[in-house]
């Protein structure tokens, strides 16, 4: 979840790196850095916080003539956001930037330390540069040392390395994390996505996993497992907005598809094989905490509602959820043994921010779950856990909801683990389910096509009811909100068991019921609720792994042993369902009428 850039050529390198990093800042902004080698001299700079801090630090520096350069913007996974942990990481005479995770870094670090190598950071990345310099002691060339280094790394990475041992060349490798190479004349650029190099390069080569090599004056040498490789470039798109959409029609669509990968980022370094780690929280953070109160708005509120089930079930801690705009004026009773959590994608929502200030005035400990570091809510909170969803451009929130819910699930397990309210066996079952989530969020062409075809039957009618039970009730609320926001059709989320207490009066063939029917949780209960609606001739669209005879339309999801896996899979279905209806109605999906991405007014 970091951003990488590199440049080989005669142009002024600092400006190229800073400008490129600006485009990647959404991928991480807890620190940034750069290293430039020119005339056998290395210049390097690092700064914590936003890129503007690195800009300030480098304001008196300018590069001249030919040189090589690398830059990085970081989102902390191993080790806190400090200057020492910021990239580029240095050895004695080499620098490296890296995106991804080196799984075997501890073993490598140990063996290097045994040889007397000193480490200054807590990162996995630093291992790469020391390993390289260690290999270089015996290798015949810098390139051989680099390839020997790669042979020893396990995990996912994209990396760039420069060294005083070869001041004309950038060494690169891609294995599981994105990286591409841009070309313009003799200039060669590297970046983790194409937007940083649009306007600079005209041709691009998207590196494949397992490819590595080196770039020197005007020439790229590419290798893979079979040795040296020819490659051909393609024309680089010139429209940044189009490029940012990565070929999707809308940002919202892209963000739905991205959920699978961003969830891995959210879990990285937090969900380990057998335990949960939250570096953001001090060991005694929950010591005096007896209850949790969460305040949020809109989609973030739905994520909070979901988490209340998890906190009470797994952490055995009382959890109340409040809509921030209601909380502000209700004269709430707040006790100091309550942890006050705010959830916000933007970190700027006025109602949520004000609720947080009220809680702080009452002396409550505060924690925010947010997607934007340094936002007002993060700054105002005692501690923050970032969701790492990356910038979300679609006004209708998708990946922010997914990652917020994941962070809350992680947090509920963290409390369960700390307070010993869950056994290791249950913890393991939850972790196994979590590790399955990125896969369950992958969107299949078959599913998307099915929802596209189905959507034409849902463009009219007098309303939608999304229904579900337990954690699927907040998901029903969220499904209805998504549909409302972008289709402008009336939709409501309801607890399935509550329909017979009033809303069922609306049931007729023009009432569309979207029924969330997971097999791993209360299946028979929801089934009877849906049967009651079907008996009143409501049109039923069932989302379930289990075929349902009374469904007018049926979207089959996968069976799973864990409700959260079903939850996330159904979430994708409801998001795509809303998207396809809105597209058919000709609406502006990314900027729906009357809405704003960040609601900074009361």
Burial class (CB in 10 A: 0-12, 13-18, 19+), 525: middle
Span from 285-293, 344-352, 382-390, 520-528 in contact with ligand AGP (CB under 6 A): 344-352
Distance of CA 590 to the CA centre of its chain: 19
Of 485, 566, 569, 580, which lies in the binding site for ligand AGP, with binding defined by CB under 6 A? 485
Nearer to ligand AGP, 468 or 592 (CB): 592
Cβ of residue 478: shortest distance to ligand AGP, in angstroms? 8
Please enumerate in sequence order all residues whose Cβ is within 8 A of that of 553, keeping only pairs 6 or more positions apart, or say none: 454, 457, 539, 540, 541, 542
| Dihedral pair phi/psi, residue 511, rounded to 5° | -100, 120
Nearer to ligand AGP, 192 or 346 (CB): 346
Dist. CA 47–CA 86, nearest whole Å: 8
Q: Are strands 219-224 and 166-175 parallel, antiparallel or unpaired?
A: unpaired
Choose between 188 and 358: whose C-beta lies nearer to ligand AGP.
358
Please identify the residue of the shown chain whose CB is closest to the bound ligand AGP: 298
Q: How far is the CB of 580 from ligand AGP (least distance, A)?
A: 17
Q: Is 570 in the site for ligand AGP (CB under 6 A)?
A: no
Find the part of the chain contacting ligand AGP (CB under 6 A) among 354-362, 497-505, 563-571, 592-600.
592-600
| By the rule CB under 6 A, 392 interacts with ligand AGP | no
Shortest Cβ 328–ligand AGP spacing (Å) = 14
- Please say whether the beta carbons of 4 and 69 come within 8 A: no
575 binds ligand AGP (CB under 6 A): no
Alpha-carbon 384 to chain mean position: 15
Residue 463's H or E segment, with its range, is strand 463-468
Residue 103 CB neighbours (<10 A): 13
Pick 287 or 594: Cβ nearer ligand AGP: 594
Using CB under 6 A as the binding rule, whether residue 396 contacts ligand AGP is answered as yes
Q: How far apart are CA 27 and CA 192, in angstroms?
A: 10
Is 2 catalytic? The answer is: yes
- Considering beta carbons, is residue 42 or 369 the nearer one to ligand AGP? 369
Residue 30 contacts residue 65 (beta carbons within 8 Å): no
**Alpha carbons 93 and 425: distance in angstroms, whole number:** 48
Instruction: Decide if 217 is catalytic.
Output: no
Q: How far apart are CA 395 and CA 471, in angstroms?
A: 24
- Residues in the interface with ligand AGP (CB under 6 A) total 16
Catalytic residue among 2, 295, 297, 541: 2
Could you tell me the smallest distance in angstroms from the CB atom of residue 369 to ligand AGP? 10
Of 297, 310, 491, 565, which one interacts with ligand AGP (CB under 6 A)?
297
CA distance 525 to 563: 15
- One of 395, 467, 517, 570 touching ligand AGP (CB under 6 A): 395
369 binds ligand AGP, rule: CB under 6 A: no
Of 193, 307, 325, 344, the one binding ligand AGP by CB under 6 A = 344
Other CB atoms within 10 Å distance of the CB of residue 116: 6
User: Among residues 253 and 430, whose Cβ is nearest to ligand AGP?
Assistant: 253
**Interface with ligand AGP (CB under 6 A):** 297-300, 344-346, 349, 352, 395-397, 485, 595, 598-599
Residues that are catalytic: 2, 597
């Amino acid at each position: 979840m970091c951003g990488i850039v590199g440049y080989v050529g005669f142009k002024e390198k600092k400006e190229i790196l800073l400008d490129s990093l600006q485009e990647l800042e959404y991928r991480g902004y807890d620190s940034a850095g750069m290293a430039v080698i020119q005339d056998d001299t290395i210049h390097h700079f690092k700064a914590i916080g936003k890129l503007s801090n690195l800009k300030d630090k480098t304001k008196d520096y300018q590069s001249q003539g030919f040189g090589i350069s690398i830059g990085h913007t970081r989102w902390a996974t191993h080790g806190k956001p400090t200057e020492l942990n910021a990239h580029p990481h240095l050895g004695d005479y080499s620098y490296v930037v890296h995106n991804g995770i080196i799984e075997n870094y501890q073993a490598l670090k140990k063996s290097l330390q045994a040889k007397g190598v000193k480490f200054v950071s807590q990162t996995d990345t630093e291992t790469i540069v020391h390993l390289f310099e260690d290999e270089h002691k015996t290798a015949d060339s810098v390139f051989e040392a680099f390839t020997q280094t790669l042979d020893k790394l396990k995990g996912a990475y994209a990396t760039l390395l420069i060294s005083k041992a070869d001041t004309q060349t950038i060494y690169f490798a891609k294995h599981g994390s994105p990286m591409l190479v841009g070309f313009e004349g003799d200039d060669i650029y590297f970046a983790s996505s194409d937007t940083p190099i649009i306007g600079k390069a005209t041709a691009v080569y998207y590196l494949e996993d397992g490819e590595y090599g080196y770039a020197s004056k005007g020439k790229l040498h590419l290798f893979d497992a079979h040795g040296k490789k020819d490659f051909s470039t393609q024309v680089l798109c010139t429209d940044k907005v189009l490029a940012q959409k990565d070929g999707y029609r809308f940002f919202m669509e892209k963000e739905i598809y991205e959920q699978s990968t961003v969830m891995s980022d959210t879990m990285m370094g937090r969900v380990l094989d057998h335990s949960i780690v939250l570096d953001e929280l001090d060991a005694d953070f929950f010591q005096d905490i007896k209850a949790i109160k969460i305040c949020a708005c809109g989609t973030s509120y739905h994520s909070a509602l979901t988490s209340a089930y998890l906190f009470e079930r797994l952490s055995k801690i009382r959890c109340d959820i409040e809509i921030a705009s209601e909380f502000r004026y209700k004269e709430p009773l707040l006790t100091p043994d309550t942890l006050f959590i705010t959830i916000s994608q933007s970190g700027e929502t006025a109602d949520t921010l004000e609720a947080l200030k009220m809680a702080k005035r009452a002396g409550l400990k505060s924690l925010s779950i947010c997607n934007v570091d340094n936002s007002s809510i993060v700054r105002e909170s005692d501690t923050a856990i970032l969701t790492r969803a990356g910038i979300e451009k679609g006004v209708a929130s998708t990946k922010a909801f997914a990652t917020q819910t994941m962070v809350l699930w992680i947090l509920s397990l963290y409390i369960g683990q700390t307070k010993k309210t869950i056994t290791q066996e249950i913890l393991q079952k939850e972790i196994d389910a979590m590790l399955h989530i990125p896969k369950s969020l992958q969107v299949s062409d078959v599913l998307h096509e099915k929802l596209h075809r189905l959507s034409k039957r849902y463009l009219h009618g007098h309303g939608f009811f999304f229904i579900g039970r337990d954690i699927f009730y907040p998901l029903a609320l969220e499904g209805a909100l998504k549909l409302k926001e972008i289709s402008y059709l009336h939709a409501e989320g309801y607890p399935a068991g509550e329909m017979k207490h009033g809303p069922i009066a609306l049931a007729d063939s023009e009432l569309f019921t979207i029924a969330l029917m997971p097999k791993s949780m209360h299946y028979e209960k929801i089934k009877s609720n849906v049967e009651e609606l079907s008996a009143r001739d409501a049109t039923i669209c069932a989302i379930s792994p289990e075929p349902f005879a009374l469904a007018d339309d049926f979207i089959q999801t996968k069976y799973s042993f864990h409700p959260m896996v079903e939850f996330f899979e159904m979430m994708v279905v409801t998001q795509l369902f809303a998207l396809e209806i809105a597209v058919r109605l000709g609406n502006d999906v990314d900027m729906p009428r009357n809405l704003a991405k960040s609601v900074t007014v009361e």
